[in-house]
C-alpha cells in the first residue's frame, strides 16, 4: 500500500487541478471539517480505505473518459470548445495543419496527420475578420491574405510565425497561391490589358509570362483567368483556367521556368468548374449536374491525366474538390453538396476503382479542408451551417486511404 499511495495521490492531485471544486462546495467542506469533534483515533485504516477509494475513482474516471472518446461519432463530431493549451514551438520537418485556438486570438494549433497536437504558432498581432492565414501544404510557412487584396509587397511567415523577407507583388495582383514545394507562391496579375503569371520566394519575384491579352475582367466583361495549380516539387508548371459567366471555357499548362505553353485546350460545354492536382498532372472537369443544374450537363465528371491523356469517369453527381497528394484519391461533394448555409454531402473516392472509401451526410457544412502532404489523407473542417462568420467555430474530421476516419476532440476556429 505504501508503494501505491504516492501514485494514487499524484493522480488525484492532477485530477483536482484540472477540475477544481465549486466555490460553495469548497466552503462546505471547510465548514464540515471545522465542525468535526476533536479526538485522537487510529487513522491507519482510514488512510488505507481512502487510498483504495481514491484509486478506484481515478481508474473509473480514466475509463469513463476513454469510453466517451470512443463513443464520439467520427462523422458528426460536436465537441465542446477546446481548452487553451500552448504546445510550444512546432517541430521542424513534421507536416502539420493549423486551426485557430478559440480562446487566444492569434494562436494556431498545429496537428500532425495522426491527429496529435505538435505545436502552437503565435502571431504578433491577431488577424481581423477579413484576413486569412494561408498555410503552405505542409504547414511549414504561412502567407497573410488580406481578403485577396495583397499590398505592393508580400511577406511570408516561417513555421514559427516569424516574418520572412518581403517580396515584390506585381501591380494588379488578383490571386496568390502556395506551390506544392511549400516554398514558392504563384500569382496572376492584370496589367495594362495583360494577365501576367509570376512566382515568388522571400525577397524575390519572377515574372514568367503573359497568359492572355484582354479587357480587365474586374470591369464586368465576364471573363477571368485563375490559377488552379502551382507546382515546383517535381515539374515546374502552373495550370490556369478561364472562367466565363457560370462555367469554364479553356485551360493552360505553363512552364514556370521559361513561360512556355505546355498544353492549351478548350473545355467542353456542360462543365461547371475545374480542379487540378497539386503537381499539375491531373485535371478534374466537374459536371454541371453535380451542382443541381437541370439543363445540359456533361455526362460524367472527368479526371484527365494531362501527361498521358487517359480519362477516368466519375458519376456526374460528384464534383471533385481536391486530389490527394499521391493523386490516387479525390475528395468530392455529392449532389451539389458544398454550399454556404447548407449541410455538406462529402465522400472520398479511389480513382483506380471508383470505390467510395468514406462518406459524410451529416448536419454540418464543410468550412474548408487540408490535404495530407504525403499520402492520401484529408483533414475536413466542419461548421454549423447557421454560422456564416468569416472565421467560424469548426471541428475536425480526418480521413485516411483505408476509409478510416477520426474526429479531433474540441472546437477550433477556421484560420
In a domain? residue 164: no
Instruction: Give the pLDDT score at 217.
Output: 60
C-alpha cell read off for 215: 479587357
Spell 120-144 as b/e; 16+ CB within 10 A means b. Answer: bbebeeebeeeebbebbbbbbbbbb
In a domain? residue 306: no
In a domain? residue 23: yes
In a domain? residue 191: no
Selection from 143, 111, 109 nearest residue 127 by Cα = 143
Instruction: Give the pLDDT score at 42.
Output: 40
Domain that holds residue 55: 5-71
* Overall number of domains in the chain: 1
**Angle (nearest 5°) at CA 142 between 327 and 285:** 30
Instruction: Give the pLDDT score at 411.
Output: 94
The count of other CB atoms within 10 Å of the CB of residue 316 is 18
pLDDT tens track, the chain, 415 positions:
444 444 444 444 444 444 443 333 322 322 232 233 333 334 343 344 444 444 444 334 433 333 333 333 344 455 555 556 899 999 999 999 999 999 999 999 999 999 999 999 999 999 888 888 999 999 999 998 876 565 677 889 999 999 999 999 999 898 999 999 999 999 999 998 899 999 999 999 999 999 988 766 665 554 689 999 999 998 999 999 998 776 889 999 999 999 999 999 999 999 999 999 999 999 999 999 998 887 788 999 999 999 999 999 999 999 999 999 999 999 999 987 788 999 999 999 999 999 999 999 999 999 999 999 998 999 999 999 999 999 999 999 999 988 899 999 999 999 9
In a domain? residue 57: yes
In a domain? residue 35: yes
Instruction: Give the pLDDT score at 156.
Output: 94
User: Using DSSP, how many helices (H) and how many strands (E) does the chain show?
Assistant: 3, 27
Instruction: Give the pLDDT score at 219.
Output: 58
193 CB-near residues (< 8 Å, 6+ apart): 213, 214, 215, 216
Spell 285-312 as b/e; 16+ CB within 10 A means b. Answer: bbbbbbbeeeeebbebbbbbebeeeeeb
Strands (E) in 90-219, as ranges, are 97-100, 107-111, 117-122, 132-135, 142-145, 153-157, 163-168, 173-178, 185-191, 194-201, 204-213
Alpha helices in 104-209 (DSSP H): none
In a domain? residue 394: no
Selection from 321, 349, 339 nearest residue 383 by Cα = 339
Chain centroid offset of residue 23 CA: 40
Instruction: Give the pLDDT score at 77.
Output: 52
CA 352, 358, 363, 367 torsion-angle sign: negative
In a domain? residue 401: no
Strand bridging mode 365-371 / 356-360: unpaired
Amino acid at each position: 500500500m505504501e508503494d501505491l499511495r504516492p501514485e494514487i495521490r499524484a493522480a488525484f492531485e492532477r485530477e483536482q487541478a484540472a477540475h477544481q471544486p465549486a466555490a460553495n462546495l469548497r466552503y462546505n467542506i471547510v465548514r464540515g471539517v471545522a465542525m468535526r469533534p476533536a479526538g485522537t483515533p487510529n487513522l491507519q485504516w482510514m488512510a488505507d480505505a481512502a487510498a483504495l477509494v481514491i484509486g478506484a475513482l481515478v481508474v473509473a474516471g480514466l475509463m469513463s473518459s476513454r469510453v466517451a472518446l470512443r463513443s464520439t461519432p467520427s462523422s458528426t463530431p460536436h465537441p465542446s470548445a477546446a481548452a487553451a493549451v500552448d504546445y510550444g514551438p512546432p517541430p521542424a520537418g513534421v507536416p502539420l495543419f493549423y486551426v485557430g485556438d478559440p480562446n487566444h486570438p492569434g494562436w494556431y494549433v498545429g496537428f500532425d496527420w495522426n491527429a496529435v497536437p505538435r505545436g502552437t504558432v503565435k502571431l504578433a498581432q491577431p488577424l481581423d475578420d477579413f484576413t486569412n492565414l494561408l498555410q503552405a501544404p505542409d504547414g511549414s510557412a504561412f502567407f497573410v491574405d488580406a481578403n485577396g487584396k495583397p499590398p505592393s509587397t508580400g511577406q511570408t511567415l516561417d513555421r514559427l510565425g516569424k516574418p520572412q523577407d518581403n517580396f515584390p507583388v506585381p501591380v494588379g495582383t488578383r490571386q496568390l497561391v502556395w506551390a506544392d514545394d511549400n516554398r514558392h507562391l504563384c500569382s496572376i496579375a492584370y496589367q495594362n490589358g495583360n494577365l501576367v503569371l509570376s512566382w515568388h520566394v522571400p525577397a524575390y519575384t519572377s515574372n514568367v509570362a503573359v497568359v492572355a491579352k484582354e479587357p480587365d475582367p474586374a470591369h464586368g466583361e465576364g471573363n477571368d483567368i485563375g490559377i488552379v495549380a502551382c507546382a515546383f516539387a517535381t515539374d515546374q508548371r502552373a495550370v490556369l483556367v478561364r472562367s466565363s459567366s457560370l462555367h469554364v471555357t479553356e485551360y493552360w499548362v505553363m512552364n514556370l521556368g521559361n513561360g512556355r505553353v505546355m498544353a492549351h485546350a478548350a473545355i467542353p460545354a456542360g462543365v461547371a468548374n475545374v480542379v487540378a492536382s497539386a503537381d499539375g498532372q491531373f485535371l478534374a472537369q466537374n459536371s454541371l449536374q453535380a451542382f443541381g443544374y437541370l439543363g445540359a450537363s456533361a455526362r460524367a465528371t472527368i479526371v484527365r491525366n494531362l501527361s498521358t491523356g487517359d480519362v477516368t469517369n466519375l458519376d456526374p453527381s460528384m464534383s471533385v474538390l481536391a486530389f490527394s497528394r499521391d493523386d490516387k484519391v479525390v475528395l468530392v461533394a455529392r449532389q451539389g453538396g458544398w454550399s454556404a448555409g447548407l449541410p455538406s454531402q462529402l465522400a472520398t473516392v479511389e480513382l483506380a476503382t471508383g470505390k467510395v472509401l468514406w462518406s459524410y451526410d451529416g448536419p454540418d457544412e464543410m468550412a474548408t479542408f487540408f490535404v495530407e502532404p504525403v499520402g492520401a489523407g484529408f483533414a475536413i473542417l466542419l461548421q454549423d451551417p447557421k454560422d456564416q462568420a468569416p472565421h467560424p467555430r469548426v471541428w475536425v474530421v480526418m480521413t485516411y486511404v483505408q476509409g478510416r476516419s477520426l474526429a479531433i476532440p474540441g472546437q477550433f476556429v477556421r484560420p
